[in-house]
Chain A
Amino acid sequence: MPRHRQKHNMACFQRESPALKEILLRLYRAEKPMELDHHLYEFGSVEYHVQASASIPDNTYLSIATPLLYQDVVLSSGLPRYTLEMVKGISPDVIEIIEPPKEGYKLTLRLKYSRIPRNKGGVKMIASISSVQGVILSSQLKDMLMNVNSLEVSQGMYRPVKLIYHPREPFFVIKQPEKITAVFPMRFKEDTDVIIATAFFQELMDIGSSKAFVKAPHCIWSPIPPAELRGEPIEDLSTNGGFVSFDITGRHVEGKRLDKTVWNLLNFYAFVKYHVKSTRGFIQRRMRTRLESLVEVLYNAGIKDEHHIKKKNRGPKGVRKLLNFSKSKLLKKRYNFINKIKRIRSRIKIHWFSRFRKRWLNFSRFSSLTRYEKLN
């Protein structure tokens, strides 16, 4: 499989929810309208509720509950208008936003399955609908990034905004004149991960400052919090992997690049963690391969010679076969003879015979032709 396709198949970088996609596709491919009431939970905080009725086949309801990227948004009037427009824009003919949403959910959509074409395009549409959670979260960041070139100076312009895409992994966005800086505090569970990630961040800085990547966002890694984050709570600033900052300018949010930039920023943590995990796996595989070659050297030091000597003293193959055959025959004979004696013993009982039994019926030990007996 080509590498670029492999990247898109990684679950952590897929926009669509795999479980939700499977359920919507099942409804799409069903020959008859079916009854469905399914709850899905993802990442511990995202909930989907899919309801379909067999009696009204064109009314399939999808409700979503997800924590928002930007927690300070006032939610009394529901999701921001920009977010609702982005969601509707996934597929305007198929999606209808239900107001107000179902209780306990941020958004409820009605999906008109009759308007989904019955071809490959239909499957693609279902995949786009399954990415609704990603659309909701990225819409907030898009809204912020789209105003990067605005000269409007508002109170608290340089105040960092805390965004949470993955639970327990917040990052900060700081609006500045003509650019927006995204700062990622990096935390890892193990020291090995910290060192591998630090090596990666240094390569990222090196590559980012090269001529070939002048157009890419300027990237800085520092072990201490940047000056812009002064005043933030200490628990957000205590890290073991340092801070990675990206400067996003107007060039990175033009046209189709906006969507890519937003998606890359939202998945930066997942990207780094995946790289660290792959590197650890690579090191392990490499060590296993090396172990075999190191051990082989030692085996050649002695065991081969021993094996050779053992083989030499065994004798020709034909003689070995003959010996094996005679041994089994002799053992059989002995067994039959002993059984015969036992039978004789049980029939005959002679008085005073027991005294002489030991002397008469004491047979010498059978010595095998192939076994060595130690002489005392």
Chain B
Amino acid sequence: MAANMLRLYLTCIRNTLEAAMCLQNFPCQEVERHNKPEVELKTSPELLLNSVVICRNEAEKCLIETSINSLRISLKVKQADELENILTKKFLRFLSMRAEAFQVLRRKPVQGYDISFLITNYHCEEMQKQRLIDFIVQFMEDIDKEISELKLSVNTRGRLVATEFLKQFI
């Protein structure tokens, strides 16, 4: 049931990205010889499309904001308890600090979300569009999986250490 829900959620995001990722080069209208991602500036409303929020539940959602030459995807990852909360924060912050390795990752997430991507027309020219979308969707799956595995590992380590400590009294 949960796997089914996840599939539906990811399929919805994929379809939205396929429709939204139609980017073209568009120089800045306000400053000569400048080329800026319009989705970040938001100074010209005619260049922006309606943003879309896809919610899996209250804790998990995805915000897709599109403009003529850029697309911003923000993700909110589920955090069931305090341990998942700190693991998610640490991991996503770790990735954001190394954003240059990902090229499409934003150094700072949009407020209210855990991680954000910024895709521009240049990225679409250098990389294949389908593979970019595959990367985003795969990233979402991998993050969920990694957080769960990390939590399990931390609890398993704690259990082993507690066992070793109490063994000394026997």
A residues with a Cβ closer than 8 A to B are 7, 191-192, 195-196, 198-200, 202-204, 206-208, 213, 215-217, 219, 252, 257, 260-261, 264, 271, 275, 278-279, 282-284, 286-287, 290-291, 294-295, 297-298, 300-303, 305-306
Contacts and interface: CB of A to CB of B under 8 A. Distances in A.
A217 B153 contact: no
A302 to B, nearest CB: 3
Given A297-B138, A298-B102, A208 B166 contact: yes
Contacts of B165: 204, 264, 271
* B interface, size bucket: 35 or more
Nearest to A286: B150
B25 interface: no
Contacts of B132: 301-302
Nearest to B143: A294
A279 B90 CA distance: 13
Given A215-B170, A216-B169, A302-B126, A195 B83 contact: yes
Contact of B87 (A260, A278, A283, A294): A283
Contacts, number: 117
6 contacts: A195-B83, A199-B154, A213-B166, A264-B165, A287-B91, A291-B95
Interface in B43-90: 82-83, 85-87, 90
B146 A290 contact: yes
Contacts of B95: 287, 291, 294
Interface string B124-164: 00111001101100110010001000100111011101111
B23 interface: no
Contact of A295 (B90, B102, B150): B102
Q: Chain A: interface secondary structure?
A: helix
B70 to A, nearest CB: 17
Nearest to B139: A294
B90 A192 contact: yes
Nearest to B104: A298
Contact of A305 (B128, B157, B159): B128
Contacts of B127: 298, 301-303
A275 to B, nearest CB: 5
B166 A204 contact: yes
A191 B86 contact: yes
A178 B110 CA distance: 59
Contacts of A298: 102-104, 127, 135
A207 B134 contact: no
B128 to A, nearest CB: 6
Contacts of A213: 163, 166, 170
Contacts of B135: 297-298, 301
Contacts of A203: 155, 158-159, 161-162
A290 B165 CA distance: 31
Nearest to A193: B86
Contact of A300 (B85, B131, B163): B131
Contacts of B157: 275, 278-279, 282
Given A203-B159, A282-B153, A302 B138 contact: no
